[in-house]
Structure 1
Amino acid sequence: MDECKDHGLSDEAVHDAFLRAIESDDRARKRFREAEFGDLDLNSFVLDSGDNEPIVFEQATIHGLLNFSRASVRQPLEFSRCTFNTVQATDAEFDYELRFPNATFHGDVDFVGSAFKRGAFFRQSTFDRPLLFGGTEFNAAASFRYATFRAVSTFRDVGFGQASFNEATFETSAQFSAVTFRGRAEFTMTEFASSATFEGVRALAQFDFSPNRVGRSDFSDSSFENIDVAIGVLGGSRRVSLRDTTIETGRLGQPSSDGRVAYDLTGARLGDVTLDLPTPGAFDRYRRYLTDFGNFQFVEYREALRDHRWKIHEYVEPTETTTTDLELTYLKAKRGASSVGDSDDAAHFFVREMRYRRRRYRERTGDPSLPVRDRLGALSRWFTNGFLALVAGYGERPQRVIATAISVVLTSALLYPFEWVGGVRTADGVYLYGNRPTLAAELAAFAYDNSLYFSVVTFTTLGYGDSSPAGGLARLLASAEAVSDAFFAALFVFALGRRVTR
């Protein structure tokens, strides 16, 4: 379109000449090679020449404003190796493909509220000023591959079909807020010089995030059907926030080189997600705090769990925790492990849960702001919790019940012969410490004839056999020992059954 090169024409005249050219049946007139424009204002215009011939700009320059606001573009458009100042395309509709290969944008670019019914391609384009897509809909593919963003790039409340930002470079922050990716989204070999924010994202298909470089990555309050994260780190540490995010399947990777990536999964929900562990010690690179577990396979990390003593909340970065939240963390982990039939890990998480519950009772006991009644109730529960931990490992350690029962028998046997307790009455008289001529005879009488024998019989039967307690305290001790037998028997059956059923 030669008349566009005539700088003597006004913008209105150039605009009219442009419209005449695109309405022409001559295909060649719809190609604008090395054309120059001041402003090209197509505000609220219906761009339709009645055919599907693409309108092509090659190495064209628009020095002023390219305005597609509220326009309806019903032709394929291509701006190849073109240079722009400001682009305003709010609430525009593009029925066919829109292409900007190797384009340069020196001014602001605004596509707020626009809709792309076919593909939109910005391959190898450069954006010198802020870029804004807000409320924009890409029904098909959107490609920013090899693009360079030199100012803040904002994609807010945008809907993508397929999206590719492979090998793009963001020289400042990139913001993808409340974005929906309906198809595959790719950020492979992307360069983020600063932070990358993906808050409130919904990814309904594969989401690949494998940048060569990135500062802090924020995926909080998002949901991913399938995510693959593999961040390149050359030494040092990178942080990825996945707080309150749902991940159905995927992989959270670690760099193959030196360095680490720390994932904050606070409040997240993990399904069948793989956590890369270069070594079992790398387990603390993933913070599982108040995290829900759906189809997460703890059994695949048994060695790492064992090395960390099933402390899944420990994190390589500085964090703050509360006892109440730690208790809830292990309750959620226990439920998650149980839901996939992993009874062994569920048992360990249950023990952790009960320990933090005991700590919570202790804190309430010492809290001066609480009423005395509440503090006494907390003290009672703290004691009960500690007692169950000691004698049965919260029902997860049946061997502790046996050990405790044996200790009751031995302790009682040691107490009976004291004179202040009363001793053990036998056919030969009352057995007390010191009434045998030698130490060997004393031990034999204790072990076989008197106290130990009496303690075992008292613990295991309802009667005293051929011996009986002598004195009030001895009778009280014998009664307590006899009652404890029933308690420990029931506790052992409970703990053993719990272990077997797990």
Structure 2
Amino acid sequence: MAEMGGIPDDRCGYNLLEDGTADFPVGDCAQDILENFHLQQDGSACCWRETWKDTDQCIWHARVEDKPLKKLKAARTNNPEQLDGAYLVGVEIASSISFHGCGLRAAIFKDVTLPRAGFHDASLRHAQFHHVELPEAEFHNADLSYARFQHVELPESDFYNAELLLTEFDNVVLLLAKFRNASLPRVDFYDSRLTFAEFYDAKLFNAQFRSTNLYRAKFQGANFSGEDPPIHSLGGTDHSSAKFHDSDLLHADFRGTQLSNVVFCHSDISGGDYTDADARDADFSHATLHNALFTRTDCRGATFTNALLYETVFADARINSQTTFYDSGVSRPVVVYEKNPHALEGLSMDTHPLEAAEWVYRRLEKLHDENALSEEARKFHISKQEVRRKYQYELEDYPQYAISTLQWHVNGHGESIFRIFRSAAILILACGILYPFVGGIGSSSTGTVYSIPLTLSRIASLDGAATLLQGIYFSVITFTTIGYGDLYPIGVGSKVLVGFESLSGAILIALFVFVLGRRVAR
């Protein structure tokens, strides 16, 4: 490295301190990296390369477009170099070029083609890549913190063990890209294509995936939770949750992934595999989860409100009372398919939305039952029966619809003891009032006949009131099938009514025992 002093006219003099890289660690760098730099009296470093042509800077730092490829290759040594602030605009390099171990902080790459470029162990902090083609580029162990990629082609690029703190990818093609063991805290993938990308064991604390295509992306072992962050410079930042907003993650592989607090709002993650993943407090609201697989997944505290869950598999999944599948404040769960039964919501043409809603309710009833959440399981059972009743009406299956409607009002689809008591009370009172008017009842001990002719004066009299009380008493013992024998029906009408009430009473009592046993068993 040149000694301290002034900068001659034939030297570049590019000052790192003025170009936003004041954190350049002069004292820690190896001699071979700093050999082209000059240490100034204020402690900053400047480029000591010879000026190029009629510019006042070297070929790397001169703000000139379309620099000759031969000159660049001649200026590039095979050893690591300090090229911070390099300016490469409009350069097309047909063959591979290596920047292995180089310092490229705040470097600018624009309208450049660099196939199979090697950036191993390079420092690219604050670097900018605009309209660049970097197919099969290698960024092993590179530091890309604060770098920005805009309209860049990076197919099959490899970011193994790279550092990407707050790196921005704006409209970038990362087809088949590999981010194995990479650290990507607060990275922003906006409107980018990450089809078949691999994030094995990557650290994605508070990463953002907005309008991103992640078709068949793989996230095995990836950590989104922010536990044990390896980057000391993250101090004070919140890196507890990644965000996938309006993203396409069809068939994405999240097996064994840490997904605590991750946000999947409005994203399509159909066919995804979340086996053995930790999805505590994750947000899947308004997401499409058709055919997704949640096997042994920890979903405690997760939110699935308004999510599309048709044919989603929850096998041995773990949930708790904080796991939500529907909006609060409603009497029973209502999924999207039932809210808008005339919309397909991504279903196949041969699947009716109400069929899908019934399927979802059935699976969620089982899931809550398996996790000892009996009250929620009861609500999903009711929703399942209600949506079936709606579907019967749409199919014009009116006999089945009538039976389902009667079940709902009588016993709340087998879940309401209160409705059974209410139905029994209505039946007893109605039959008790009718007995005196359809033939009457007689007393075996006194021979008195209790009947009321249909005249207003007789009904309003004291005798009429006493007769009605006898009718209600007879209705109670008929309903309960006690049959003391002191009263008996008179006339065909009363006998028919006795048969109806006795049969109905037996059914209601049996329903009461069934519902009570069902609720106790839960």
TM-score (norm 2): 0.67
Name the structure 1 match of 2:219. Answer: 203
Name the structure 1 match of 2:231. Answer: none
State the Cα deviation string for residues 244-295 of structure 1 (Å, max 9, x = none). 25553336679xxxxxx9643553666434668xxxxxx8x93233264563
- Shift of the 496–297 alpha-carbon distance from structure 1 to 2, 3 Å rule, reads same
Name the structure 1 match of 2:505. Answer: 485
Match of 1:39 among 38, 58, 69: 69
1:416 aligns with 2:435: yes
1:360 aligns with 2:379: no
State the alpha-carbon separation in 2 of the partners of residues 218 and 437 from structure 1.
73
Shift of 1:398: 2.1
Does the 8 Å contact 1:41/1:67 carry over to 2? no
1:226 aligns with 2:226: no
State the Cα deviation string for residues 6-50 of structure 1 (Å, max 9, x = none). 9xxxxxxxxxxxxxxxxxxx957997954446226999xxx997x
Name the structure 1 match of 2:411. Answer: 392
SS where residue 485 of structure 2 aligns? coil
Name the structure 2 match of 1:370. Answer: none
Does the 8 Å contact 1:413/1:454 carry over to 2? yes
State the alpha-carbon separation in 2 of the partners of residues 472 and 390 from structure 1.
29
Shift of 1:442: 2.5
Name the structure 2 match of 1:474. Answer: 494
Shift of 1:401: 1.9
1:179-198 correspondence runs (5 A): 179-186=197-204, 188=206, 195-198=211-214
Match of 1:131 among 128, 146, 152: 152
Name the structure 2 match of 1:440. Answer: 462
State the alpha-carbon separation in 2 of the partners of residues 361 and 175 from structure 1.
44
Does the 8 Å contact 1:86/1:108 carry over to 2? yes
1:108 aligns with 2:129: no
1:1-20 correspondence runs (5 A): none
Does the 8 Å contact 1:58/1:80 carry over to 2? yes
Name the structure 2 match of 1:158. Answer: 177
Shift of 1:189: 8.0
State the alpha-carbon separation in 1 of the partners of residues 158 and 182 from structure 2.
12
Does the 8 Å contact 1:70/1:91 carry over to 2? yes
Shift of 1:298: 4.8
Name the structure 1 match of 2:162. Answer: 142
Shift of 1:64: 5.4
State the Cα deviation string for residues 456-488 of structure 1 (Å, max 9, x = none). 232223757133222223222212222223322
1:250 aligns with 2:288: no
State the alpha-carbon separation in 2 of the partners of residues 417 and 122 from structure 1.
92
SS where residue 516 of structure 2 aligns? helix
Match of 2:367 among 324, 332, 336: 336
Match of 2:307 among 285, 288, 291: 288
Shift of 1:61: 4.6
Match of 2:267 among 227, 237, 241: 241
Shift of 1:439: 2.1
State the alpha-carbon separation in 2 of the partners of residues 98 and 437 from structure 1.
101
Does the 8 Å contact 1:266/1:290 carry over to 2? yes
- Shift of the 263–346 alpha-carbon distance from structure 1 to 2, 3 Å rule, reads same
Shift of 1:296: 5.2
SS where residue 206 of structure 1 aligns? coil
Match of 2:443 among 405, 426, 436: 426
Does the 8 Å contact 1:40/1:67 carry over to 2? no
Shift of 1:499: 0.7
State the Cα deviation string for residues 427-457 of structure 1 (Å, max 9, x = none). 3243211497982232223324xx2233223
Shift of 1:186: 2.8
Identity of aligned residues (%): 22
Match of 1:323 among 354, 371, 376: 354
State the alpha-carbon separation in 2 of the partners of residues 488 and 214 from structure 1.
53
Shift of 1:299: 1.2
SS where residue 309 of structure 2 aligns? coil
1:307 aligns with 2:329: yes
Report the AA paired with residue 319 of structure 2: Q
Name the structure 2 match of 1:176. Answer: 194
State the alpha-carbon separation in 2 of the partners of residues 391 and 101 from structure 1.
70
- Shift of the 89–457 alpha-carbon distance from structure 1 to 2, 3 Å rule, reads same
State the alpha-carbon separation in 1 of the partners of residues 323 and 188 from structure 2.
36
State the alpha-carbon separation in 2 of the partners of residues 152 and 289 from structure 1.
28
Does the 8 Å contact 1:38/1:63 carry over to 2? no
SS where residue 336 of structure 1 aligns? helix
Name the structure 2 match of 1:350. Answer: 381
State the alpha-carbon separation in 2 of the partners of residues 275 and 219 from structure 1.
24
Does the 8 Å contact 2:262/2:279 carry over to 1? no
Name the structure 1 match of 2:21. Answer: none
State the alpha-carbon separation in 2 of the partners of residues 162 and 230 from structure 1.
19
- For structure 2, the 5+ residue unaligned runs are 1-9, 12-30, 38-48, 50-57, 61-66, 227-237, 346-352
- Shift of the 70–208 alpha-carbon distance from structure 1 to 2, 3 Å rule, reads farther
Name the structure 2 match of 1:217. Answer: 246
State the alpha-carbon separation in 2 of the partners of residues 28 and 430 from structure 1.
117
Shift of 1:219: 4.7
Q: How large is the RMSD of aligned CA atoms in angstroms? A: 4.6
- Shift of the 41–196 alpha-carbon distance from structure 1 to 2, 3 Å rule, reads farther
Does the 8 Å contact 2:420/2:511 carry over to 1? yes
Does the 8 Å contact 2:205/2:223 carry over to 1? no
Match of 1:119 among 141, 149, 157: 141
Does the 8 Å contact 1:61/1:84 carry over to 2? yes
State the alpha-carbon separation in 2 of the partners of residues 132 and 84 from structure 1.
12
SS where residue 176 of structure 1 aligns? coil
Q: Which has the higher strand share?
A: 1
Does the 8 Å contact 1:242/1:263 carry over to 2? no
1:397-408 correspondence runs (5 A): 397-408=416-427
Does the 8 Å contact 2:80/2:99 carry over to 1? no
State the alpha-carbon separation in 2 of the partners of residues 78 and 312 from structure 1.
57
SS where residue 425 of structure 1 aligns? strand
State the alpha-carbon separation in 2 of the partners of residues 146 and 486 from structure 1.
71
State the alpha-carbon separation in 2 of the partners of residues 342 and 35 from structure 1.
70
Q: Which has the higher helix share?
A: 1
Name the count of aligned residue pairs: 428
- Shift of the 434–492 alpha-carbon distance from structure 1 to 2, 3 Å rule, reads same
SS where residue 153 of structure 2 aligns? strand
Shift of 1:359: 0.3
